[in-house]
A and B are shown apart, each in its own frame.
Chain A
């Protein structure tokens, strides 16, 4: 397996634009996590899914953020409209068994909102 695949690797966008980040988890994994990493706040959990169903979205900072998982092999994180304070590295991770097992991370998407 190629591991968790995220796209794009880098995204530069203007304030107010819509941004969509994509993630393909490892085949067979039943949990998918979206994290955001900044120097100031570290690695923050935004939302996680179990069997494609959102379980906890309490980390989503505002209504401008939304996430979907239409099937077991694909998830998106959307920011609309984007703001400069959304600039961060966004990671997707997947695991089998949730927090009881290893989470495998993608390479991340580095988002810059100007």
Chain B
């Protein structure tokens, strides 16, 4: 079993829809939770960063972390065609073993 599980999609929604992306994980030591966005033929770029549990909002994007359920989510409101990309969740324990483990990524397409 992978440490981080993510539905690979693909996911296609109309412009303006609310998008929900999710990941589950098995390692209870994870403390840092991130969402990266990757456009075609580019490297991933950090989109959202959360420490421990709770919510974080940045414009149209909201990240949620539920450590009790080992479940994290990314919500995109008023989705735009420019949001079409692959979204990868990522996690780290942030300790001396500071490796960053990624989910497999969800390919998202926003239809105009």
Contacts and interface: CB of A to CB of B under 8 A. Distances in A.
Interface stretch (A11-19, A61-69, A73-81, A104-112): A104-112
B104 A105 contact: no
A114 interface: no
B105 A43 contact: yes
B19 interface: no
A56 B100 contact: no
B43 A106 contact: yes
B102 A35 contact: yes
A56 B105 contact: no
Interface string B44-68: 1110010000000000000000000
A20 to B, nearest CB: 19
Contacts of A55: 97, 99
A104 B93 CA distance: 18
Contact of A100 (B8, B32, B90, B102): B32
A56 B92 CA distance: 14
Interface size class of B (residues with CB under 8 A): 20 to 34
Contacts of B102: 35, 42-45
A41 B98 contact: no
A57 B46 CA distance: 24
Interface of A: 4, 31, 33, 35, 41-45, 48, 50, 55-56, 91, 93, 95, 97-100, 102-103, 105-108
Interface of B: 6, 8, 32, 34, 41-46, 49, 88, 90-94, 97-105
**When A and B form their complex, which 10 residue pairs have the shortest distance between CB atoms, in order from nearest?**
A99-B92, A98-B98, A42-B104, A105-B43, A99-B98, A43-B102, A100-B94, A102-B46, A99-B100, A105-B44
